[in-house]
Structure 1
Amino acid sequence: MIKVVAIVGPTAVGKSALGLKLAKKFDGEIISGDSMQIYRRLDIGTAKDSQQELLEVPHHLVNICDADQRYTVKDFQSKARQVITELNSKKKLPLVVGGTGFYLSSLINNLNLGGKSTSDKTIRDELIKLEQAGNLKELQNILKKEDPLAFQKIDIENSRRLIRAIEVIRTTGKSIAEQNNGMKWADFYLIGLTDERSKLYDRINKRVDKMVSLGLLDEARYVYDHQDIFPQAKNGIGYKELFPYFDGQADLDECLSEVKKNSRHFAKRQFTYFRNQMDVDWYNISDDKNYQEMIEKNIIEFIGGHND
Structure 2
Amino acid sequence: MSEKKKLLILVGPTAIGKSALGVEIARRFNLEIISGDSMQVYQGMDIGTGKITEAEMNGVQHYMIDVMPPDSAFSVHDFQKHVDEIIDEFHEAGDVPFIVGGTGHYIRALIYGYEFNDEDDAEKRALTERLDALGSTILHNRLKNVDPKLAGEIHQNNRRRVIRALVKHELSNRISSREGPGYTDEMKYDTFIIGLTRDRKLIHESINNRVEKMFEMGLEEEVRALVQHRPLSKTAGAAIGYKEFIPYFEGHVSLNDVKETIKQHTRQYAKRQLTFFRNQLPVSWYDLDSVNTDSIFEDIYQFLHTKERKKND
TM-score (normalizing by structure 2): 0.74
Q: Which whole-Å CA distance do the structure 1 matches of 2:199 and 2:230 have between them?
A: 36
The residue number in structure 1 matching 2:34 is 31
Asked if the contact 1:7–1:15 (Cα under 8 Å) also holds between the matched residues in 2, the reply is yes
1:274 aligns with 2:271: no
Which residue does the alignment assign to 1:19? 22
Structure 1 pair 258–285 and aligned structure 2 pair: CA distance change class (3 A): same
Match of 1:201 in 2: 204
State the distance in 1 between where 2:232 and 2:101 align. 25
Task: Name the SS of the counterpart of 1:275 in structure 2.
Answer: helix
Question: Which residue number in structure 2 is paired with residue 74 of structure 1?
Answer: 77
Please give the root-mean-square deviation of Cα atoms over the aligned residues, in Å: 2.4
2:224 counterpart (221, 224, 234): 221
Give the C-alpha shift of residue 227 in structure 1: 6.7
> Residues of 1 paired with 2:210 and 2:232: CA distance?
28
Unpaired segments ≥5 residues, structure 1 = 118-166
How far apart, CA to CA, are the structure 2 residues paired with 1:105 and 1:222? 33
Cα distance in 2 for partners of 1:184, 1:248 equals 49
Alignment partner of 2:80: what SS?
helix
Alpha-carbon distance in 1 for matches of 2:253, 2:114:
42
Looking at structure 1, the residues matched to 116 and 296 of structure 2 have their Cα atoms a distance apart, in angstroms, of 32
Specify the alignment match of 1:287 in structure 2: 290
Q: Does 2:252 align with 1:249?
A: yes
Cα deviation code 1:147-202 (max 9, x no counterpart):
xxxxxxxxxxxxxxxxxxxx989x644x34xx125664311100000110100000
Q: How many residues align?
A: 249
Partner of 2:189: 186
Q: Which residue in the other structure is 1:239 paired with?
A: 242
Match of 1:263 in 2: 266
Q: In structure 2, what is the Cα distance between the partners aligned to 1:219 and 1:113? A: 43
2:202 aligned partner, one-letter code: K
Match of 1:297 in 2: 298
Q: Is the 8 A contact 2:34 2:62 kept in 1?
A: yes
C-alpha deviation, 1:93, in angstroms: 2.9
* 1:77 and 1:103 in contact (8 A); partners too: yes
Instruction: Pick 1 or 2: higher relative contact order, CA cutoff 8 A, min separation 6.
Output: 2
> Which string of whole-angstrom CA distances, capped at 9 and with x for unpartnered residues, describes residues 239-295 of structure 1?
11111111111111111000000000000000000001111000111122x2x1111
1:300 is displaced (CA, Å) by 1.2
1:47 aligns with: 50
Larger Rg over CA atoms: 2
- Check the 8 A contact 1:189/1:302 in 2, yes or no: yes
The question of whether the paired residues in 2 share the 8 Å contact of 1:2 and 1:85 is answered with no
- Deviation of 1:303 (Å): 1.3
Partner Cα distance (2:232, 2:209) in 1: 31
Within a 5 Å distance, the mapping from 1:124-203 to structure 2 comes to 172-173=178-179, 175-176=180-181, 179-181=182-184, 184-203=187-206
Identity value in percent: 38
Does the 8 Å contact 1:6/1:96 carry over to 2? yes
Following TM superposition, by how much is the alpha carbon of 1:110 offset from its aligned partner in structure 2, in angstroms? 1.9
Displacement after TM superposition at 1:209 (Å): 0.7
Note the C-alpha offset of 1:301. Answer: 1.1
Tell me how far apart the structure 2 counterparts of residues 92 and 54 of structure 1 sit (CA, whole Å).
19
